[in-house]
Structure 1
């Protein structure tokens, strides 16, 4: 799955088909018509409140597509990370990063192909050194 060009409506439609969720249930949950649901399937993007509802009814985190996109295509700059002290921020601080299999494979592939060195991956993506080496060791098996 490529996370660069996200068409969230089609991803929702795929999940609805996988789960075999009946259309009357979806319409009742969203309090809308089948035409409205079809329009959502055709949408490349949608309001976060609606996306949250889809995530709940289909028991799937659709926001993860966007998180993966940020991880793959917009690594945090070290300058930005260090400019603002976390304790000064009013935004919540999440302790754990999300390392899905796709993220791990992406990082390891960059190292294997020589696009980035281990130290570049560690600094650019803020991955702990021990975590990266554990991934490398597990990948050898």
Structure 2
């Protein structure tokens, strides 16, 4: 990083970091810090977000149907601990109820396979 220990400590304590600095940290630590933000966008994007108006654009569009394993585990943990109900998950995160039920069924199947 070509900086002193004090500068690194200051970076750690900052509320915001420039993206180029965050990218350097991601490469150095071999951890994708940007994934945290993209997962947040996926979870909290409005469910009615439509991209039909942007079809003529050459820019990539944001897809809500991409859920990482970490996100699925986080959501299932909220249900298992009783922190949120299935209906709260579907309304807050915009996840279809059928998708949530599939995750729960798959998760239970994986738990049973690990225990045996």
Give the TM-score range, shorter chain: 0.5 to 0.7
- The equivalent residue for 2:113 is none
Is this contact kept in 2: 1:51–1:62, CA < 8 A?
yes
Structure 1 pair 49–65 and aligned structure 2 pair: CA distance change class (3 A): same
- The equivalent residue for 1:100 is 69
RCO higher in 1 or 2 (8 Å CA, sep ≥ 6)? Answer: 1
- Is 1:91 aligned to 2:91, yes or no? no
After the TM superposition, which residues 27-42 of structure 1 pair with which residues of structure 2 at under 5 Å, given as runs?
Answer: 27=2, 32-42=3-13
Q: Structure 2 stretches of 5 or more lacking a match? A: 110-116
Q: Across the two proteins, how many residue pairs are aligned to each other?
A: 106
Q: TM-score, normalised by structure 2?
A: 0.62
Q: CA deviation at 1:53?
A: 1.1
Q: CA deviation at 1:110?
A: 5.1
Q: TM-score, normalised by structure 1?
A: 0.54
Structure 1 pair 130–86 and aligned structure 2 pair: CA distance change class (3 A): farther
